[in-house]
Structures are given as C-alpha cells and as structure tokens.
C-alpha cells in the first residue's frame, strides 16, 4: 500500500510551488467504502476542509502507477481554494495550470484510466459501458439509462465522437 501522507505532502508542495492558494485542509483520510468515488473534498462548519481518497488508489495491485493517485489528490486540493467547490471557471483554470506545469491530466470527471481502476476494484458495481468510437473514452454506468438504450442520440463529452453501448 502506498502511504497517503507522503503523497499529500508532495501534492501540497506542488500546488504551493505554482502559487495556488489552497484552503486550510485539516485532514486527509482514506476512504475504504466508496465504490464509485475516488476522492472527495468537504467543507467543515469551521471553514476548514477534509479530503478523503479511495483506498483503491493506494493499492499497487489495482493501480500500478501513482499518476491517478496524484491527479485525484490535486483535484480535491483545488476544491479547497476560494470559490472552487464546483468545477467552475476558477477550478478549471487552476487544474489547467497544474496540467501544464506538471503534466497531470486533472479533469472534471475521472479519466479512462481511473474508470478502469474503479471497474477492477468494483467488478459488480458497473453493469454497462459506453465507449467513444473516436477517442476511446470509456463511460461506466451502474444502471440502464437513456444513453445506454440509445447511444446514437448522445455523443462523447471529450471529442463529440459517436458512442456505442456494451454490457459488462
Ligand atoms: Zn471534483
Ligand atoms: Zn471521444
């Protein structure tokens, strides 16, 4: 298992090195119960923040490289910045800055690599997937939804490509 504390120290230093003013994070915890969420940032009543990271990302057997772990930690640290609890303009700007500076791929939703990690960690949770025929992005779905029924009516959020549905 990777040590979460070691990684949060590295990530906080990287965020600070580019001058992004993150909030006062009182603790980082390991979440062993989340099935579909890799990270979460919560604001406490005292104005501080608490960040939880899925244990899946700390497990080398499920997640062979540490890129998704660092992407997720930084994604959540950026939510602690002022006016960044959503994925609005300011959050996106900070994420873009980290991506350019360090080669991360922090985005609003989990990347394909992260979707695959979640699927491996929770083989029974996802029942369907939508695959972009152009860029190959995989969208995992827990239940039958309109897009799974009629993939041709929807398009890929990344490249606008056509989607096809598959049961898992
Ligand atoms: Zn987020
Ligand atoms: Zn696509």
Q: Do the Cβ atoms of 93 and 80 come closer than 8 Å?
A: no
Domain boundaries, the chain: 4-102, 126-167
4-102: CATH superfamily:
Metalloproteases ("zincins"), catalytic domain (3.30.2010.10)
Cα 162 to averaged position of ligand 2 atoms, centre (Å): 7
What's the pLDDT at 90? 97
What's the pLDDT at 51? 97
Distance CA 69, CA 115 (A): 13
Distance CA 99, CA 89 (A): 15
What's the pLDDT at 93? 97
Cβ < 5 A residues, ion ligand 2 = 132, 134-135, 137, 156, 158-159, 161
Cα 37 to averaged position of ligand 1 atoms, centre (Å): 10
What's the pLDDT at 43? 96
Cα 87 to averaged position of ligand 1 atoms, centre (Å): 6
pTM of the model: 0.75
Instruction: List the one residue out of 98, 119, 118 whose CA is nearest residue 107.
Output: 98
Q: Does 4 have pLDDT greater than 80?
A: yes
What's the pLDDT at 61? 86
Please, which residues have CB within 8 angstroms of residue 29's CB and are 6 or more apart in sequence?
50, 51, 52, 53
What's the pLDDT at 62? 83
Cα 110 to averaged position of ligand 2 atoms, centre (Å): 14
What's the pLDDT at 145? 85
Report which bound ligand comes closest to the CA of 40: 1
Over residues 20-26, mean pLDDT: 98
47-99 confidence digits (pLDDT tens) = 999 999 999 999 998 888 899 999 999 999 999 999 999 999 999 999 999 99
Q: Do the Cβ atoms of 165 and 128 come closer than 8 Å?
A: yes
What's the pLDDT at 11? 98
Beta bridge partner(s), residue 75: none
89-144 confidence digits (pLDDT tens) = 999 999 999 999 999 989 887 777 777 777 777 777 788 999 999 999 989 888 88
């Amino acid at each position: 298992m990777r040590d979460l504390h070691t990684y949060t120290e590295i990530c906080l230093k990287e965020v600070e090195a580019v001058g992004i003013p993150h909030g006062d994070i009182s603790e980082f915890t390991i979440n062993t119960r989340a099935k579909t969420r890799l990270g979460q940032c919560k604001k406490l009543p005292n104005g501080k923040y608490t960040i939880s990271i899925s244990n899946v990302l700390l497990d080398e057997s499920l997640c062979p490289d540490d890129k998704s772990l660092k992407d997720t930690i930084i994604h959540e640290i950026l939510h602690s910045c002022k006016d960044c609890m959503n994925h609005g303009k300011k959050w996106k700007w900070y994420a873009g800055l980290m991506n350019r500076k360090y080669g991360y791929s922090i985005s609003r939703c989990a990347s394909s690599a992260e979707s695959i990690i979640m699927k491996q960690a929770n083989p029974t949770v996802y029942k369907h997937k939508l695959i972009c025929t152009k860029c190959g992005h995989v969208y995992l779905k827990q239940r039958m939804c309109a897009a799974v029924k009629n993939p041709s009516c929807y398009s890929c959020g990344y490249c606008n490509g056509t989607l096809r549905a598959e049961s898992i």
